[in-house]
Amino acid sequence: MKAYAKINWALRVTGKRADGYHDIETLFQTISLHDDLRFEPSHSLSMTCTDSTIPIDDTNLVIRAAKAIGATARIHLEKRIPAGGGLGGGSSDAAAVLREFDRKDRQIALSLGSDVPFFLEGGTAYGTGRGELLTPLRRVAPVPLLLLIPNERILTAQAYAMLRRFSPPLGIDRYRAMIDDDLLDHAAELVNDFEEAIFAKLPQLHALKRRLYEAGAAWAAMSGSGSTIAGAFRSQADRDSAATRLSGVRAIACETV
């Protein structure tokens, strides 16, 4: 089963909640980069992974998702989505487990992570609350993308602790209007509130965003709380040309789906 990564076209942090979480407004988007999960019948639960740096114990969201629904299987994870880059790989893997066993339960999904409910359906969606209050929107696809994967990794909790301010929401009607027009024409409105503080601490990430624009991107931004910097292009040819000019950093070509 394919577990697709995501980017955030926009991510505004609108306030802090009494439960310690933050309220956000975001525009989620699934992309063609994906992990693959294979399930084999078993009387017990076990997991293997092609990436030896990924834990395969109870700290892995795949195992946690299976245990949450009482599923048993031998699960093999072919890992392609870089871990800790703001692309939602772990959350997508967890959602894939719930989908495999036909348990698309939003409460279970949310108990596993704020992004997991989105991955039960994917596409383009407006998210509020912790990101779990979702409204599907017209799919923004296919748009050629180039993902720049720096060595730096940013923990989500660390990113929230670094926030300098909150932003008012734009509202779903504004995002819907941007999509109906041409989302890439509205790059200036598609902001990520984490960028200000994280770029101040890690200016090399800001430099990657600038390089994407210099290489012809119509939109570029950090995905989630980082550290992946994503760029969207008007054509596959523009994207592929940019990829040849962006040396010194891992780059992944993909598309919105």
Is 6 one of the annotated active-site residues of the chain?
yes
The catalytic position among 115, 193, 209, 238 is 115
Distance CA 222, CA 228 (A): 6
- Burial class from Cβ neighbours inside 10 Å (0-12, 13-18, 19+) for residue 165 reads exposed
The catalytic position among 6, 35, 79, 238 is 6
- 56 in Cβ contact with 79 (< 8 Å): no
Is 115 one of the annotated active-site residues of the chain?
yes
Residues in Cβ contact with 203 at an 8 Å cutoff, skipping those fewer than 6 apart? none
Mode of pairing for the β-strands spanning 22-40 and 73-78: antiparallel
Residue for token digits 């027009």?
A: 181
**Triad 34, 253, 237: Cα angle to 5°:** 140
- 37 in Cβ contact with 97 (< 8 Å): yes
Bridge partners of residue 22, in order along the sequence: 16
- 124 in Cβ contact with 179 (< 8 Å): yes
Task: Give the active site residues.
Answer: 6, 115
